[in-house]
Amino acid sequence: MLKRKQMIVAAATLAAAPLATKAATIVFSYDPTVIYGTVSGVGGGGNVTGTTGTATIVNNKVTIPAGDFFQFNVNVLVTNNANTASGGAYDSANGKTQPANLGLTGFGYVVTDSVPAAVLPVNQSGNEYITAFGPNGATSPAYASQATGADNQTTGQVGSNAAPLSGGLSPGSVNAAKSSTYYNLTLGAGTAQDIFAGMEYHALTSATSVLTFGSTSGSLAYASLASAGGASTKPTYTVTVASTNDSITNLPALTINPTVTSGTSNNIISLTSTAPNSNVAPSAYGTTSLGTVTANGSGTKFTAGTLALSPVKATGFVNGVLNSSPTAGSPEVYALDIESSGGGTTAPGDLATIAAAMQTALNTQLGAGSATVSTSWTGTAPFNGVNPFPGGPAGTPGYDVFIAITANNPNLANNFLGFDLTEGGSFSTDTVAAVALVPEPASAAFILVGASSLLLGRRKRSTSQVA
């Protein structure tokens, strides 16, 4: 991939000035189809995987499932940029056919994100990756490669004025006698073509976000004829940086509307598997576990293993491995630290609503009286004694919702916990940040905890002794 300094080069350094000043028409647009899936494509071949589907951009808006990863493509159409050397003296004398129309040679974008807590660019080593295409796809070696733009996980911004998300071709390297070099001249020429594909984001919650693409100064350029040549002199080409003389239609803002997919409805919490196999994960919470938590202990002393979710998750499931021989008679206890859409403390009203919804869901799944949900550690049954969970991993705030499973039930899935906060009303933009496992007593128990201080882009496991 050519660097920005290389791709936007003054015409004088490549060849003589263009033959004439003319106004090209350049139109950028989104491919209408957006691909979404439950597993990120970063590090896995570039395309999202897992449970996948497609959505269509209509009036610059698209609806995709909350909690999923999604990716989209951008294309360009260049018109009013005819090549007067095509079919000219050189072509006639040498049996060549120069491209009839000339296309885009360089672009640079800074992408802003109105609600990064809801829709966040996928980060890989500090960058957002795209796959940039030339007119011949994979056979355009100077252009068909990955490009990067700095990826800010706090603001959601991709690229900067100094280093935009960019790509470029080199008309100055075209040899008019070799048609294999013509791809440097024809990106989007007369026919709309992808300039990049696979820009990936993660819909963390069901809150709407708007992506805005701003073209950086001096980055937009197209191919021009520098010299028409003659029967024995090859035509030469150069770069023209787009100006106010040209007609440019930049990308419009794209509204992302994550929501629960039509026809599906999950419980806010699930401790039941797909019957009758208790080793099958809760259905409709994704096809890939968010991670495995292993707990060890015996008697009344237990070591809790924790798994941080980074980024935080609105929906998904975890599975646990229990290596212990606990004393029977104590309830399983779950504790949840719920983050608001901005990453802060969740409103008390939301927590009360969440607790009530979980109580209803567990009554249906396990039977009335099988579980108790509370927004405080009461110190009385079933939340006896001193709160064993005073804080989350790495000193994060304490928990907000406590769940005690007080009855052994054959429907209980010992190995899995599914959650889906997108099913709520006022709390539909809240998230879960980490998961821990404590054996209490004979089956796996999960503790959902905050992880706001953990490093993004990795999962961190820690342990703490629980009496």
Domains of the chain: 4-259 (2.60.40.680), 269-466 (no CATH)
Preceding peptide of 311 cis, ω within 30°: yes
- pLDDT digit string (tens) for the chain, length 467 residues: 333 333 333 232 333 344 445 689 999 999 999 998 888 876 555 678 877 888 899 889 998 887 888 998 898 999 999 999 999 999 999 999 999 999 998 888 899 999 888 888 887 776 776 776 555 544 444 444 456 677 788 888 988 888 888 877 888 889 999 988 888 898 889 988 888 878 889 888 777 899 999 988 888 999 999 999 999 999 999 999 999 999 999 999 999 988 754 334 567 887 765 434 445 566 667 667 788 766 666 655 666 667 777 777 778 887 766 565 554 444 567 777 777 765 666 667 677 888 888 888 788 777 788 788 888 878 777 777 767 665 655 444 567 788 777 765 444 445 677 788 876 555 667 787 777 666 553 333 444 443 333 322 323 223 333 32
The answer to whether 105 and 142 have CB atoms below 8 angstroms apart is: no
Torsion of CA 443, 372, 274, 39, to 10 degrees: -90
pLDDT value at residue 388: 67
CA distance 273 to 286: 13
CA distance 295 to 463: 9
The answer to whether 447 and 305 have CB atoms below 8 angstroms apart is: no
Cβ atoms < 10 Å from Cβ of 87: 13
What does the buried/exposed string (b/e) look like for 305-328 if buried means 16 or more CB atoms within 10 Å of the residue's CB? bbbbbbbbbbbbbbbbebebebee
Residues counted in the chain: 467
For residue 69, give both structure tokens: 């990863």
For residue 222, give both structure tokens: 């197209």
- Bridge partners (DSSP) listed for residue 137: 134
> Among 227, 436, 225, 407, which Cα is nearest to 331's?
407
Cβ atoms < 10 Å from Cβ of 229: 20
- Strands 247-249 and 25-30 come out as parallel
CA distance 455 to 467: 29
Q: Amino acid identity of 161?
A: N
Which residue has 């995987």 as its token pair? 49
CA distance 348 to 87: 74
> Among 133, 127, 146, 137, which Cα is nearest to 74's?
133
pTM of the entire predicted model: 0.55
